Structure 1
Amino acid sequence: MATKQTIWPLEPHTAAKHQLLAQYLDAWFPILASFNKRIVFLDGFAGPGVYEGGEPGSPTIALSRLLDHPNFAKMHGTTFDFVFNEQNVHRFQSLKTQVAQIQSGRNPWPSNVRIQTVNQSFTTLGERMLTGLEGKPLPPTFAFIDPFGFKDAPLDLIQRLVKFRRIELFIYFPYNNVNRFSTAETLADPHLKALFGTDEFKNAPKGGAGSRKQFLHDLYQRQLHDVCGFDYVQSFEMVNADNHTGYFLFFCTRDLTGFDRMKTAMWKVDPAGGRRFTDVLAGQTVLFQEDVDTSPLRAELLAHFAGQTVSIKEVTDFVVGKTPFISSHVKRKTLAPMQADGLIECPGQKTRGQYPDGTLIRFPDA
């Protein structure tokens, strides 16, 4: 996509990204609204709000997931602030038009939904938000940071914005661009250092595409964890029509339930592993979708909990927080077959193969 275009065609990987966003917001809005009087959705690079074929952009998707949510009426006690920022003036005008159309199409507009469209650089917006807080914490916020390239989302700014515990981050990591410049002494070096918050990107292996990609991926993930202070960080790889990795999306949170919800959305987009979408296979029908292979999870549980008796909660928290799998993979897909095979015992269990809260699971010695 040429950076000077105002509106462009919707590519399959972008549609997949929007699917992840939509599915997560379906859960995030009602959960946060149940115990918060105000929550914020921040779209730092909102774009024009629409695609060439009329498909909705991320601002429209975010608004529709709230306004069309079956439980929206029950969320009347929460104020929802949407901040849509777009620096490019032509895209910003398109964005304002799209937002106006959404608002005019709903009469009366709900008083607890407020929209602010901003025409600034993301850096300017972020600094202005931090100044306006005057030391107070941000309310619970979902920050969607999806820039063009690698020059506009410095880690230092991200770290200061997300330092408050109830902030979640969904951020674009432009692997293809980073890979191109990361080991050459170029004018891009200061931007890459700002992106990573370190100059360790220069240590990326020069040979071997796989090891190089893994190094850069792991470095950015580590910085999101260590510097930005997120307990849980999960990536999702987007592969373009040339079968090359274009970018990664990183979801970052300090809440295990939210982490499980986003990973669940990722497994819906990629039923084979929850980690990757490729344009090459976009639109193809899978005739025979095999069930999730949880044999790696079985082996990991046996190794990690060897010789221990632990609660079902401890097992589920480990699976969600420390493995690629999700909570729905734990009981029926993993523990029940393990119990049937005699690999685990459940002292005091009322019904074999069922694991309600409080269930204890005894793992054999290694």
Structure 2
Amino acid sequence: MNFFAELQDHSEVKLSILENYTIPWMRKIILNPFNKSKRCLLIDGFAGTGIYDDNRKGSSMIMVEAAMDFYSQAVKNGWDEPDILIYLNELNTDNHKSLISNIESLGFESMDDKWFSSNDFESITIMIENKAFEEFFDEILNIGEGKTLIPSFCFVDPFGFSQTPFRLFEKYLKNENSELLINFIYEHTNRFITHPNEKVRARISTHMGLVGLNDLSDKVSGLDPLERKKVIIETYTNNILNETDAVHVKHFDIKKNRRTKMILFYATKNINGLKLMKETMWKHDETGLFTYDDKQQMVQLDFETILSTDKQMHINLLSEAIYNNFSKRKNISCEHIEVFTIIETIYPLTNFVKPALKILEEQGKITNFKGRKKIKTYPAKTRMDFN
């Protein structure tokens, strides 16, 4: 089967999320005043050919073109040149050759057998490998005792569950400012959890970070498909939160013919990264279901109900959640409310928090505002009392 013949609609959603996240992530990292080096790293562990036969962009081409666009933005705005590293890996030899050709078509030239640069984008460097993902990622992570990766965003989009051992993500997420977006192949994982072949079950255990599958098999046995999926999602989410250094996990459910094909899991330590990914995923929520879980409290939401309501209903629900959490508390900042919204609710900040606070103010549930110049405005430093 040629996986790169034509981009399927359900896969297009996945790549759209990647595309919409990459440039804002680079801007967040490079323009951070604490990042003195102005460096960042993009990683694509299953890079493919870069372009599908129908000429739509694959993940690796999305990353490279995003880096080029951001470089151009930096030059236009007079910012420091961003130092962007891009590591691409593709195991299939023919696909690897096509990938190199497609990268070269963007004006990048080979410096040796795997490193590429461009005179037009002098501070972008691309490495293209032809290895199994485990070997490729291990080499990146073996950076020496006491050393850490530069700020990095890694996209992992395998064809099955046997190529992505959980231990790699444990090691990767120990690095500061490391973010992971992995395509969890739900359909195959779900199908083989109760497989009688011990070798197959062992591969799933390695993939999910479990010692064995007996407990999970017992939990899902006899459950209907929706409950079974919830258990599998909860298990993988808890493993990320409990076994890695990630603090925030968010997932996005992608369906085909009303059945879940894949689930994107995003993991980060950084609340600003979570905020950005929530904004990105929210734009795509009409194509899938998503929930948010954090290390202290897992919040499961019925998105079939959520998605059937309109935006005003969302704002009303958020205003109720904010009030219920802060009721009777004094001198609460808008910044504090934003953090609560990012971590404890499904909602992004843009177009939700301020309208929700406006409702509460009109209802007289928040009063005694400090630090604002106009009524019904909510700068981050504004403080208020909840009645």
Q: Same fold (TM over 0.5)?
A: yes
Partner Cα distance (1:317, 1:127) in 2: 35
1:170–1:251: 8 Å Cα contact kept in structure 2? yes
> Which residue is equivalent to 1:308?
329
1:264–1:326: 8 Å Cα contact kept in structure 2? yes
Q: CA deviation at 1:272?
A: 9.1
- Asked whether 1:336 is paired with 2:336, we answer no
> Which residue is equivalent to 1:55?
56
Partner Cα distance (1:312, 1:91) in 2: 50
Q: 1:125-274 to 2 correspondence within 5 Å?
A: 125-186=136-197, 187-198=199-210, 199=212, 200-206=215-221, 207-240=223-256, 242-270=257-285
Q: How many equivalent residue pairs? A: 349
1:163–1:229: 8 Å Cα contact kept in structure 2? yes
Q: TM-score, normalised by structure 1?
A: 0.89
Partner Cα distance (1:136, 1:95) in 2: 31
2:318–2:353: 8 Å Cα contact kept in structure 1? no
Q: TM-score, normalised by structure 2?
A: 0.84
* Amino acid aligned to 2:319: R
> Which residue is equivalent to 2:302?
none
Q: CA deviation at 1:290?
A: 5.0
Distance 1:65 1:275, change over 3 A: same
> Which residue is equivalent to 1:71?
73
- Asked whether 1:358 is paired with 2:381, we answer yes
- Match of 1:293, SS? helix
Q: Deviations over 1:271-322 (max 9, x none)?
A: 699739xxxxxxxxxxx97556222222221221121121111100010011
> Which residue is equivalent to 2:6?
9
* Amino acid aligned to 1:62: M
Distance 1:318 1:41, change over 3 A: same
Q: Deviations over 1:247-280 (max 9, x none)?
A: 110111111111111110111112699739xxxx
Percentage identity across aligned positions? 23
Task: Report the more deviating stretch, 142-151 or 24-33.
Answer: 24-33
* Amino acid aligned to 2:236: Y
* Amino acid aligned to 1:158: F
- Match of 2:369, SS? coil
* Amino acid aligned to 2:106: I
Distance 1:173 1:272, change over 3 A: closer
> Which residue is equivalent to 1:296?
317
- Match of 2:53, SS? coil
Distance 1:78 1:350, change over 3 A: closer
> Which residue is equivalent to 1:282?
none
Q: Which runs of 5+ in 2 are unaligned?
A: 110-116, 292-308
2:187–2:261: 8 Å Cα contact kept in structure 1? yes
* Amino acid aligned to 2:335: K
Q: Deviations over 1:13-39 (max 9, x none)?
A: 222111111111121112211234221
> Which residue is equivalent to 2:41?
40
Distance 1:6 1:209, change over 3 A: closer
1:331–1:354: 8 Å Cα contact kept in structure 2? no
Partner Cα distance (1:342, 1:273) in 2: 36
Distance 1:159 1:36, change over 3 A: farther
- Match of 1:204, SS? helix
Q: Which runs of 5+ in 1 are unaligned?
A: 277-287
Q: CA deviation at 1:214?
A: 0.3
Task: Report the more deviating stretch, 148-157 or 127-136.
Answer: 127-136
Q: Deviations over 1:163-211 (max 9, x none)?
A: 1121000111111111101133323111111111113432332221111
Task: Report the more deviating stretch, 207-216 or 265-274.
Answer: 265-274
